[in-house]
A and B are shown apart, each in its own frame.
Chain A
Amino acid sequence: MPDDTVTIDASGLRGIANEPGVAKPDPIIVVDGMRRAFGGIVAVDVDHVEIQRGVITGLIGPNGAGKTTFFNLLTGFDAPDTGHTTFKGEVIDGTSPHRLARRGLVRTFQLTKSLTKLRVIDNMKLGAQRQRGEKFFNGLFAPLWKAQDREVEQRADELLKRFKLDHMRDEYAGTLSGGQRKLLEMARALMSQPEAIMLDEPMAGVNPALTQSLLGHVKDLRAEGITVVFVEHDMDVVRDISDWVVVMAEGEIIAEGPHSTITSNQRVIDAYLGTHHDAPLNLSEEQARIAEDEAIAERGRHHD
Chain B
Amino acid sequence: MLLAAIDWGFIFDQTLTQMVGLNAAVYAIAAIGLNVHFGYAGLLNFGQVGFVAVGAYGMGLSVTLWDLHPVLAVLGGVVFAAIFALLLGIPTLRLRADYLAIVTIAAAEIIRLMARSTALRTVTRGAEGLNEFVGPFREYNPFDASQSYGIGPVGYRGTEFFAILIGWLVALLAVLLVWTLMRSPWGRVVKAIRENEDAALALGKNAYWYKLQALILGGIIGGFAGMVEAVGKATVQPDFYVAPLTFFFWLVLIIGGVGKVWAPIIGSMIYWALITFVQNLGRQLVDQGIVPTSVMDPSQVDQIRFWIVGIALALLMVYRPQGIFGSREEMALDAR
- A contact residues vs B (CB 8 Å cutoff): 75, 77, 96-99, 101-102, 106-109, 113-118, 122-123, 125-127, 129, 131-136, 138-140, 142, 145, 149, 172, 174-175, 188-189, 191-192
Contact = CB atoms under 8 A, between A and B. Distances in A.
A154 to B, nearest CB: 15
A139 B40 CA distance: 15
B203 A127 contact: yes
A97 B180 contact: no
B69 interface: no
A136 B185 contact: no
18 contacts: A98-B200, A98-B202, A106-B202, A106-B203, A114-B199, A123-B192, A125-B188, A126-B192, A126-B200, A126-B205, A134-B186, A134-B189, A136-B217, A139-B184, A139-B187, A172-B333, A174-B334, A192-B204
Contact of B202 (A75, A129, A145): A75
Most buried by A among B196, B200, B202: B202
A171 B334 CA distance: 15
A145 B203 contact: no
Contacts of B198: 77, 97, 109, 113
A191 B202 CA distance: 12
Nearest to B196: A113
B181 interface: yes
Contact of A188 (B186, B191, B203): B203
B336 interface: yes
Contacts of B98: none
Given A108-B202, A116-B195, A140 B181 contact: yes
Contacts of A139: 180-181, 184-187
A172 B259 CA distance: 15
Contacts of B207: 98
Nearest to B332: A174
Most buried by A among B177, B191, B192, B199: B199
B293 interface: no
B180 to A, nearest CB: 6
Given A113-B196, A172-B330, A174-B333, A138 B186 contact: yes
B213 interface: yes
B201 A115 contact: no
Given A109-B202, A116-B195, A126 B189 contact: yes
A109 B201 CA distance: 12
B206 interface: yes
A116 B188 contact: no
B262 to A, nearest CB: 18
A77 B207 CA distance: 13
B115 to A, nearest CB: 30
B189 to A, nearest CB: 5
B203 A126 contact: yes
B330 A117 contact: yes
A123 B200 CA distance: 10
B277 to A, nearest CB: 34
Contacts of A102: 204
Nearest to A172: B333
B203 A101 contact: yes
Contacts of B329: 172
Contacts of B186: 133-136, 138-139
Nearest to A137: B186
Given A172-B329, A175-B333, A118 B195 contact: yes
Contacts of A189: 202-203
Contacts of A188: 203
A200 to B, nearest CB: 10
Given A101-B203, A139-B184, A188-B203, 18 more contacts: A77-B198, A77-B201, A77-B202, A98-B204, A106-B204, A113-B196, A113-B198, A114-B199, A116-B333, A116-B336, A118-B192, A133-B184, A134-B185, A134-B205, A139-B187, A140-B184, A149-B185, A192-B204
A117 B193 CA distance: 11
Most buried by B among A99, A116, A192: A116
Interface in B191-236: 191-192, 194-196, 198-207, 213, 217
B205 A96 contact: no
Given A117-B333, A142-B184, A97 B189 contact: no
A145 B187 CA distance: 13
A101 B181 contact: no
A102 B196 CA distance: 18
Contacts of A117: 191, 194-195, 330, 333
Interface in B86-129: none
Contacts of A136: 181, 186, 213, 217
Most buried by B among A122, A139, A142: A139
